[in-house]
Amino acid sequence: MNWKKWSLLLALVFAMGIFLAACGGDDSSGEGEDASDDTGQSNEGEDSGEPALAEDQSLTVNIKTEPPSLHPGKATDTTSNAVLTQVFEGLTRVDQDGEPQPAMASDIEVSDDGLTYTFTIRDGVEWSNGDPITAQDFADSWKWVLNPDSPDTDYAYQMYPIKGAEAAKTGEGSLDDVGITVEDEKTLVVELENPTPYFLELTAFYTYFPFNQDVAESNDEWAADAGEDYVTNGPFLLEEWAHKDQVVLKKNPDYWDAENVHLETITMEMVDDENTAKNMYDQGELDWIGDPTDSVPLAAIPQMKQDGTLNISPMAGTYYYSFNTEEEPFTNANIRKAFALSLNREAIVQNITKGEQRPGMALVPSAIWEENEEGYFEDGDTEKAKEYLETGLEEMGLDELPTIQLSYNTDEGHAAIAQAAQDMWKENLGVDVELNNEEWNVYLDSMSEGNYQVGRMGWLGDFLDPINFLEIFETVGGNNYTNWEDEEYASLLEQSRSEEDEAARKELLREAEQIFMDAMPIAPVYFYSNVYAHKDYVKNVTVGNLGTIQYKWGYIEEH
């Protein structure tokens, strides 16, 4: 078999610029986030020569809330991601330019047909308890996610590009037939169902992180707390996890690239109130405020823009309202369309969020598909919305709609947007709306259990391709809280996975999005932006246009 070295593959894929990116999770409000270059990446304070390091390499940030899960195979949200990306590492890691580079793997080879990846595990890498990291660790961790009996693995579908992975997870195939082969302690061979040019981005994503199998087998709750059983392999260690208070990370002295890790301590506070966090920032108790783990208070944004302390850039993500399509009246597509079209998104982004977000009239953000800047319908089309409402009421045999409940997770920005939507739906549709807010973990449970009518949600891309947004709604479950699914829609996505012609593939995906927007199981509100601020002495912390943050290269400058 002829092989191409990984560096050649990267040169080809990224030079073509075919695959765009976004990054993922559910609980970022998008009210504040990042300064970026043309790639959408922020390389804060990057300079030439040796950095002037302060003696105290301690950084304090805010993650707002308790991470729902610090098990890489179970996590599905941005808060958990913000911790996991620091304490674990996959075969690859996204670098400061937004491109995946070898991490736990020292060498990567890809077959000419793009179907087989051979990863060589880096020499001398160890778990934080001293155990050697082997190819078997990756194989076992990935197969644990794909095991139908493994609980809370909503992100298993991220592994479906691997041959036999979906069949194994759905019980239609065997884990033994999954295209993951351990040739020896250092060599992992992965076979894909179809060429997947973004696969090396996936291997940098937390669902693909390994975890120590011996520890996990001896303690099912190994990821519930900090301690000797929380064994990791990243640039930082989980030193402390004071639930609902703070997470403390310490530099991992045994990390393979420890010489390039300068921060000694990262304290992650859980301050849910944006104004309290802003006061802490102003008083020097926080070094960073805003995205991707926090929100800048809405009232502070104009002044921070004016004085030049606010950083803003596009992010590949969509803020939306999810309709529970199994709960009346949102079982009716025309009712859903009425609610979607009657929102005035321009008013929301201009008067509420003020972070240069773009009105969203599509599922896939315009950072990925430029044509979605216009979207599938006119923003704030109240006349059309009233027509849809009238048709929907006739179809349901109703004279008017009952009071509707709009739910959102506790956050100043979410509350302000919900209040605006409440007013718009009352004024434009004559519908009474009551608001319901819940703490993030409780809120996720309510959404996943279908205990809602309309609920705020958001999606930040996990990798740079439109299918990452479309496949959320391929089947009910996982991150699809709408309970909507469609056979033709799913078929188009499946066809796209084996279509090697990029233009034809895009056409399939566009057809799928058209079906989705015709059914309107969500009401898109806006496309995210990164909005944040940090102290001048914080350097080289990297914020991506996928809503991720990397502290590996960060440092505190002498000041």
For 203-265, what is the HEC assignment?
CCCHHHCCCCHHHHHHCCCCCCCCCCCCCCCCCEEEEEEECCCEEEEEECCCCCCHHHCCCCE
Determine the average pLDDT of the residues in 84-96: 96
Residues 463 and 546 in one domain: no
Residues 270 and 331 in one domain: no
Using alpha carbons only, give the angle 245, 248, 254 rounded to the nearest 5 degrees: 160
Domain count, the chain: 2
Calculate the alpha carbon distances from 18 to 21, 200, 201, 369, 511 in Å: 10, 14, 14, 11, 19
Calculate the alpha carbon distances from 215 to 43, 223, 254, 465 in Å: 36, 10, 19, 35
Report yes or no on 50 lying in a domain: no
Report yes or no on 132 lying in a domain: yes
| DSSP three-state, residue 420 | helix
Q: What is the pLDDT of residue 325?
A: 98
Residue 319 carries which side chain, given as an amino acid letter?
Y
Residue 387 has pLDDT above 90, yes or no: yes
Determine the average pLDDT of the residues in 322-335: 98
Residues 328 and 193 in one domain: no
**What is the residue whose two structure tokens read 């405020």?**
289
- CB count within 10 Å of CB 278 equals 24
Q: What is the pLDDT of residue 49?
A: 62
Residue 78 carries which side chain, given as an amino acid letter?
T
Residues 486 and 525 in one domain: yes
- What letter does residue 131 receive in the DSSP assignment? P
- Mean pLDDT score of the chain: 90
Residue 309 has pLDDT above 70, yes or no: yes
Q: What is the pLDDT of residue 441?
A: 87
Report yes or no on 317 lying in a domain: yes
Residues 173 and 199 in one domain: yes
Q: What is the pLDDT of residue 41?
A: 45
**Spatial CA neighbour of 138 closest among 167, 172, 103, 170:** 103
Report yes or no on 425 lying in a domain: yes
Report yes or no on 51 lying in a domain: no
Residue 493 has pLDDT above 90, yes or no: yes
Residue 558 has pLDDT above 60, yes or no: yes
> In the structure encoding, which two tokens stand for residue 133, read together?
């990291």
Reported pTM: 0.81
Residue 103, C-beta contacts closer than 8 angstroms, at least 6 positions apart: 89, 90, 91, 92, 93, 122, 204
Q: What is the pLDDT of residue 25?
A: 37
Determine the average pLDDT of the residues in 281-301: 95
pLDDT digit string (tens) for 200-236? 999 999 999 999 999 999 999 999 999 999 999 999 9
Reported confidence tier of residue 467, pLDDT bands at 50, 70, 90: very high
Reported confidence tier of residue 16, pLDDT bands at 50, 70, 90: very low
Query: How many angstroms separate the CA atoms of 19 and 17, rounded?
Result: 6
Residue 313, C-beta contacts closer than 8 angstroms, at least 6 positions apart: 33, 34, 35, 36, 40, 42, 529, 530, 545
Q: What is the pLDDT of residue 36?
A: 29
Residue 550 has pLDDT above 80, yes or no: yes
Residues 270 and 354 in one domain: no
Query: How many angstroms separate the CA atoms of 182 and 143, rounded?
Result: 12
Residue 5 carries which side chain, given as an amino acid letter?
K
Report yes or no on 17 lying in a domain: no
Residues 378 and 453 in one domain: yes
Per-residue 3-state assignment (H helix, E strand, C coil) for 286-347: CCEEECCCCCCCHHHHHHHHHCCCCEEEEEEEEEEEEECCCCCCCCCHHHHHHHHHCCCHHH
Residues 97 and 125 in one domain: yes
CATH number for the domain that contains residue 482 = 3.10.105.10
Report yes or no on 131 lying in a domain: yes
Q: What is the pLDDT of residue 315?
A: 87
- Exposure string of 243-254, with b = 16+ CB inside 10 Å and e = fewer, is eeebbbbebbee
Residues 121 and 108 in one domain: yes
Residue 22 has pLDDT above 70, yes or no: no
Q: What is the pLDDT of residue 197?
A: 87
Residues 415 and 502 in one domain: yes
Element (H, E) at 437: strand 433-438
Residue 19 has pLDDT above 50, yes or no: no
Q: What is the pLDDT of residue 380?
A: 97
Report yes or no on 325 lying in a domain: yes
Q: What is the pLDDT of residue 50?
A: 73
Residue 437 belongs to domain spanning = 311-530
Determine the average pLDDT of the residues in 527-545: 94
Residues 523 and 427 in one domain: yes
> In the structure encoding, which two tokens stand for residue 244, read together?
């609902």
CATH number for the domain that contains residue 187 = 3.40.190.10
pLDDT digit string (tens) for 169-207? 999 999 999 999 999 999 999 999 999 989 999 999 999
Residues 276 and 162 in one domain: yes
Query: How many angstroms separate the CA atoms of 297 and 278, rounded?
Result: 7
Q: What is the pLDDT of residue 9?
A: 37
Query: How many angstroms separate the CA atoms of 424 and 426, rounded?
Result: 5
Residue 68 has pLDDT above 60, yes or no: yes
